[in-house]
Structure 1
C-alpha cells in the first residue's frame, strides 16, 4: 500500500511539472505567434496534446489533493517558482528581440520628426517582422536626405532665376519709359512744321533707329524671360517628382511645386503677349514712318500723321508697361514661393 501511494505521489509530481510547463509554453506560443509563426505555435499545440494525453482532469486534481496534502502544496509552490523563472527568461528574450528595436525606432522617429536627417542607423541582422520594419525605416531615412538636398539645390536655382527675371522686368520697364519719352519728342517735333522739317527728319531717323534697337532689346528680353519660364517649369516638374518620391513627407511640397509650374506657364503666356505687343508696336511705328516719308511735301499732313503715330506709340507703351507690371507681380509671387520653400527646407538638418 505504501509503495502504491509513493508511486502515485511521484506520478502526480511528474504530471504537475508537465502541467506548469504546458501552461507557460502555451502562453509563450500565443505571445510569439506573430513573430515566430509556425515553429513555436506547433510546439505549443504538441505540448497541449501531451497535456490531454497525460489525463489532467478535475478528478485527478481531487485525487492528488487527497493523497498528497502538504507535500502537494510544496510541490505546487516549486512548480510556480519554475514557471515564474521561465516567464522571466521569456521576458528577457522579448526585451532583447522586440522591445529594444522598437525603442530604437521610436527614438529615431522622434529625431526625424525634429528635422534631423543625420541619423546613425546601423543595419539590423534579424529577418523577422521587426527587422523588416527597422530596415524599411533605415532605407527611408537614407533616401530622404539626398532628396531634401536635391530639393534645396532646386530651390536655390529657382530663386536665382527669379532674381534674373525681376532684373529683366526692370529693364523692360526702363525701355518702356524711354519709348514714352521718344514718342513725346516725336509729337513735339511734328508741331514745329516746315521751319524744322530738316532737323525733324534727322531726329526722326535717329529715333527710328533707337526705337528699332529698343524693340530688338524688348524681343530679346522677352525671349530670355520665356526661356527662364521654361526652366522654372522644368524645375517645378523635377520638384514634383522628388516630392512624389518623398511620399507622405513630400505631399505639401508637391502642391507648392504645382503652383510654381502654373505660375511659370502664366509667365510664358505673358511673354507671348509682350512679343505680340512689340510686333504690333513695330508694325504701327513702321506705318507711321511710311506716312511721314510720303507726306514730306505736305507740311500739314506730315504734322498730322506724326501726331497720330505718336499717340499710337504712347498707347502701345502704356500697354507694354501694364504687361511688364504684371510680369513683375508674377516674379514677386514666385519669389515669395521660393522664400517659403527655403524656410520649409531650413527645418531639416542635412
Structure 2
C-alpha cells in the first residue's frame, strides 16, 4: 500500500514537472519573446500580438515541444521493453544496432526517393521514410536477436558485438548514400544523422503521437508477461505465456517505435538506456508501473535536452543527439563497469 502510494506521488510529481518544463520550453529560443506574450500566443489565436510572435509560438515552438515529448516517451518505452525482454540492463535500441539499421533504411528513402519528395514532401517524410526506417530497424532487431540467442539463453556479449558490427555496416551504407547525394540531400542527411527536432510539424506530431498511444497501450497490456519473463523464459512458459510469440510481437513493435522516431527526429541515442534505470530506481521493476513512468521520464529528459540544445550556443543550436550522447555515453560506461564481471 505504501509502495503504491509512493508510486502515485512520484508519477504525479514528474507529470507536473513535465507540464511546467513544456510550458517553459515554449518560451525558450533564439528570438526573445516574453513569458507573458508566449502564454498569450499559446492560449489564444485571436490576440493583439505581432503576427511573427504567434507564428513562432504556435507553428514552431509548440510543435517542437510536443514532438520532444512524444519522441522521448517512445524511445524510453522501447528501451524499457528491450531491457525487460532480454533481461539485461545494457539492451538499448542504439547500442545493439537497431537505431543504426533504422537510420540506414530512412537514409535510403531520403536519397532514393528524393525526386518523389520534391513533388510530394509529406508523403516522403510521413510515409516512405517511416516505412523504410521500420523495415531497417525490424531486420536489425531480428538479426541481433537470432545471433545473440541460443538454447542456453541470450548472450549479452554477442548482442553487443552484433550491434557494433551492424552499426559499422549501417554507417558504411549511410556514408555511401552521402557520397552519391547532391548538396541538398547531403545537408538534410547531415542534420538528420545528428538528431534534430527543428523540423517539427503537425504531421510528424500526429504520426509520433499515434505511435506512442499504440505502443503504450499494447506494452501496458503485456506488462505482467514482461514481469514473468524477468524470472526466465522457462518459468514464463510454465505460467502459460507464449514466449516466442510475445518476443516477436514486442521486437517488431519496438522496431516500429524506433523507426518512427528515427524518421521524424533523426538519430537520438541513449534515452532508451538511461531512462529505464531511473524508472527502476524510483518505482521498482514492476512493468505495470515502470512502463508509464519510463514514458514520462523519457519525455522529460528529451524536453530538457532539447531546451539545452537551443540555448547552449544561441542563436545557433546543437543537434539534440549530441546532447543525449553527452548524457548517455558516460552512463553506459558506468553500466559496463558494473556489468564487466557478468558479461565475460
TM-score after normalising by structure 2: 0.24
TM-score after normalising by structure 1: 0.24
Structure with a larger share of its residues in helix: 1
Whose relative contact order is higher, 1 or 2, with alpha carbons under 8 Å and at least 6 apart? 2
Larger Rg: 1
